[in-house]
Amino acid sequence: MDQIEFVRDFNRFYTQRLGVLNDHYLGQGRPLGEARLLFEIGDGADLRELRTRLGLDSGYLSRLLRALGGEGLVTVRPHPSDGRVRIASLTGAGRRERADLESRSRDSVAALLDPLTDGQRERLLEAQAQIRRLVRLATVTVEAVPDDAPEARECLEAYAGELARRFPEGYDAAAALIPPGALTEGTFLVAREDGRPVGCGLWQGASGLAASESAAAGAAALRSSAEIRHLWVSPAVRGIGLGRRLLAALERDAAAHGVTTVRLGTHGSLTEAIALYRAAGYREVPSYDSSPYNQLAFVKELVL
Amino acid sequence: MDQIEFVRDFNRFYTQRLGVLNDHYLGQGRPLGEARLLFEIGDGADLRELRTRLGLDSGYLSRLLRALGGEGLVTVRPHPSDGRVRIASLTGAGRRERADLESRSRDSVAALLDPLTDGQRERLLEAQAQIRRLVRLATVTVEAVPDDAPEARECLEAYAGELARRFPEGYDAAAALIPPGALTEGTFLVAREDGRPVGCGLWQGASGLAASESAAAGAAALRSSAEIRHLWVSPAVRGIGLGRRLLAALERDAAAHGVTTVRLGTHGSLTEAIALYRAAGYREVPSYDSSPYNQLAFVKELVL
DNA sequence: GTCGATCTCTGACTAAGGTCAGAGATCGTG
DNA sequence: CACGATCTCTGACCTTAGTCAGAGATCGAC
């Protein structure tokens, strides 16, 4: 595939150019590990936290701190209430060194932007923003989990909290959210970025539909109809297209389980969600249940 | 400046994501130095060339080759005509190893692209192409050199060769090109990418103008009028906006030397150049000289 | 106060990546 | 063929970036 070669080539090009810039401006005698540490210490941080944030071995961190301490850039003092924990903080010289690194890094970028016109700079930033959105979207993982998994409940809690803030009438989570363990026929998907849950959604088969409908429908209809619920995307990753990806993943998963028609209800105030459903090929139908939160209803026929 | 912070943030983000991908897929027991060497050897390369291409110390290269040789991936044999030089080439196993690395690298990119829709992939590639163009443009250096400097003549030779191919009537370089050393009032600019000359252009003050004009004009007019000539951009970097940058640099330099009006002539077949001049604020005027190559003429008033 | 858990530090060790000073072979030129 | 230049190789050495196994101090719970 040609696209792959293009992306590889871009990666080589960009890292090489970046490397040249960094070597030129930044590589002024300070090893990378020490430089990262100077940034992360900030205005004081305990070693345990530094270790996890930078992913360092405790021995290695200890040695790095000793080296920086020997140069008079960092001091380490015990935690006031926990004698095991130690806290690192920058001295005046350390802050100056950090500011120096910072300004060298800024200079290298300023030198890059300098020859460009205002319009070219804007286009560069817009292209970078575009790549960021797409690469974030591409590296988010989507995975099925039990509906009572901790990540699932964490997402639903955030989802409910947000709806409670957005709906003028509030949101009654106890009544409207799917209870843990209730999803017997269907799939709960969780989206993760760097391991942290940042979105969710579920489809629920016939057994979870309103009693009147499941009674009216035959066995075939039971298998072929499902409802998508609780589609949520964390504000931290909104705007990168994750809602669309989750929705498509739910549809694929449902279709693989024999579902041919999905429906969903939503609130009139969730305009982005409504736009998403329309763009994804859903058509509006009369509302199918009496929940005050499902003011609008949409249906889509799945094609395998 | 906010833009600088944005770019720094993008660089951190992109290198981090890239690093994760590479570590995951590529870092399978082969150190980076050896992997790069396997790629660069290709179908045989002499050590001197490898050293300069990869920027390695001769001792280090020797050791790397010995390590790869010990694994049966590389053989080294003397150069047929120069006994000092040695040539490295891949064995069958070496070629397999390289293909393996190659395919792992492709896999990592394929995994990145996989979750995206066709439209998203296209937007990603377009944004990468945009960044490449702009970063190349920004990292090209533009610098004044004497008009008889080797790089200057190299550019003019390429320029003349190209015009000779493009003009139906051919191009008489001996008559039309500025002779070495003739540029006494003016500046010759050379654009370089990674040290290689990739573009040029010059402005030439009154003393170089046609005799009739310099005679007619007073001393003030002599200083305030100049001609831009021999603006050329190598095909290798065409389309990134270098012509515009060179033109702007020439105008800035001329203005700094007291020039208030620049004019230039061009050939009717150079449509991109004509478009560039119009976009840069030049207006067409009647042709000012009888050269068969200056069928069209443009003028621009410089504002300081 | 005892005991297991937690946190930091030290010493020993490793791999990767790289530098430097010659030694030895070969080449081109006078 | 002598001599300086060129090319490669070897040995010695270095920094960065880790990993691992305890030792020692401290904490919270019992």
Domain assignment of residue B132, yes or no: no
Separation CA B219–CA B144 (nearest Å)? 26
CATH number at residue A19: 1.10.10.10
Enumerate the β-bridge partners of residue A145: A188
Domain count, chain B: 2
Separation CA A112–CA A116 (nearest Å)? 8
Domain assignment of residue B211, yes or no: yes
Based on the domain organization, do A89 and A238 belong to the same domain?
A: no
Domain assignment of residue A136, yes or no: no
Is A70 near strand D, with its CB below 7 A from some atom of it?
Answer: no
Based on the domain organization, do A157 and A293 belong to the same domain?
A: yes
Query: Tokens representing B125?
Result: 């590639």
Which residues constitute the domain of residue A58? 2-115
Q: Note the pLDDT tens digit of each residue in A13-34.
A: 888 887 777 665 665 678 889 9
Based on the domain organization, do B106 and B153 belong to the same domain?
A: no
Based on the domain organization, do A241 and A292 belong to the same domain?
A: yes
Report which of B105, B106, B108, B101 is spatially closest to residue B39, judged by C-alpha positions: B101
Based on the domain organization, do A198 and A242 belong to the same domain?
A: yes
- Which chain B residue has the Cα nearest residue A128? B10
Based on the domain organization, do B166 and B228 belong to the same domain?
A: yes
Which positions in chain B have a beta carbon within 8 angstroms of at least one beta carbon in chain A?
Answer: 1, 3-8, 10-11, 13-15, 17-18, 105-106, 109-110, 112-116, 120-121, 123-125, 127-132, 134-135, 137-140, 142, 241, 245
Chain B 82-141 residues whose Cβ is under 7 Å from strand C: 82-84
Chain B 5-64 residues whose Cβ is under 7 Å from strand D: 46-48, 51, 58-59, 61-63
Q: Note the pLDDT tens digit of each residue in A138-166.
A: 999 999 999 999 999 999 999 999 999 99
CATH number at residue A214: 3.40.630.30
Based on the domain organization, do A90 and A151 belong to the same domain?
A: no
User: Mean pLDDT of successive 10-residue segments in chain B (304 residues)?
Assistant: 88 82 67 91 91 92 94 92 92 93 88 94 96 95 94 94 93 90 94 92 73 45 80 96 96 94 94 96 90 91 84
Domain assignment of residue A131, yes or no: no
Asked if residues B88 and B47 have their Cβ atoms less than 8 Å apart, the reply is: yes
Please give the full DSSP string across A136-201, using - where no structure is assigned. Answer: HHHH-EEEEE-TTSHHHHHHHHHHHHHHHHHSTT---HHHHSPPTT---SEEEEEEEETTEEEEEE
Q: Region A214-242: what's the mean pLDDT?
A: 78
Domain assignment of residue A134, yes or no: no
Query: Rg of chain A's alpha carbons, rounded to an integer?
Result: 26
Torsion angle of the four alpha carbons A15, A18, A24, A27, in this order, in degrees rounded to the nearest 10: -70
Q: Which of A116, A131, A138 sits opposite B137 (nearest CB)?
A: A116
Based on the domain organization, do B100 and B184 belong to the same domain?
A: no
Asked if A11's CB is within 8 angstroms of B138's CB, the reply is no
**Residue B175: what pLDDT?**
86
**Residue A290: what pLDDT?**
77
Q: Which of A6, A115, A123 sits opposite B125 (nearest CB)?
A: A6
Is B70 near strand D, with its CB below 7 A from some atom of it?
Answer: no
**Residue A48: what pLDDT?**
92
Separation CA B145–CA B189 (nearest Å)? 6
Distance from CA of A106 to the nearest CA of B (A): 6
Hey, what long-range contacts does A208-215 have (CB within 8 A, 24 or more apart)? Answer: A208/A178, A208/A182, A208/A183, A208/A184, A210/A288, A210/A289, A213/A288
Domain C-terminal end among A115, A150, A165: A115
Instruction: Please determine, for residue A2, whether its predicted confidence score (pLDDT) is greater than 50.
Output: yes
Based on the domain organization, do A285 and A175 belong to the same domain?
A: yes
What are the φ and ψ backbone dihedral angles of B58, each rounded to 5 degrees? Answer: -65, -35
**Residue A210: what pLDDT?**
45
The nucleotides of chain C lying under 7 Å from a protein CB are 6-12, 15-22, 24-28
Asked if residues A250 and A203 have their Cβ atoms less than 8 Å apart, the reply is: yes
Confidence of residue A247 (pLDDT cuts 50, 70, 90): very high
Domain assignment of residue A129, yes or no: no
Domain assignment of residue A128, yes or no: no
Residues of A in contact with B35 (CB under 8 A): none
Å: A60 CA to D13 C1': 23
Query: Rg of chain B's alpha carbons, rounded to an integer?
Result: 26
**Residue A252: what pLDDT?**
96
Domain C-terminal end among A59, A81, A115: A115
Å: A41 CA to D25 C1': 24
Q: State which amino acid sits at residue A29.
A: G
Q: Region A275-299: what's the mean pLDDT?
A: 92
Instruction: Please determine, for residue A265, whether its predicted confidence score (pLDDT) is greater than 50.
Output: yes
Å: B135 CA to C19 C1': 33
Q: Region A99-115: what's the mean pLDDT?
A: 90
Based on the domain organization, do B272 and B168 belong to the same domain?
A: yes
Report which of B32, B198, B199, B16 is spatially closest to residue A18, judged by C-alpha positions: B16
Instruction: Please determine, for residue A218, whether its predicted confidence score (pLDDT) is greater than 70.
Output: no
Domain assignment of residue B290, yes or no: yes
Around B160, how many Cα atoms within 13 Å sit in the side-chain half-sphere?
15
Based on the domain organization, do A95 and A57 belong to the same domain?
A: yes
- Distances B151 to B25, B180, B189 between C-alpha atoms, Å: 43, 12, 10
**Residue B205: what pLDDT?**
87
Based on the domain organization, do B224 and B164 belong to the same domain?
A: yes
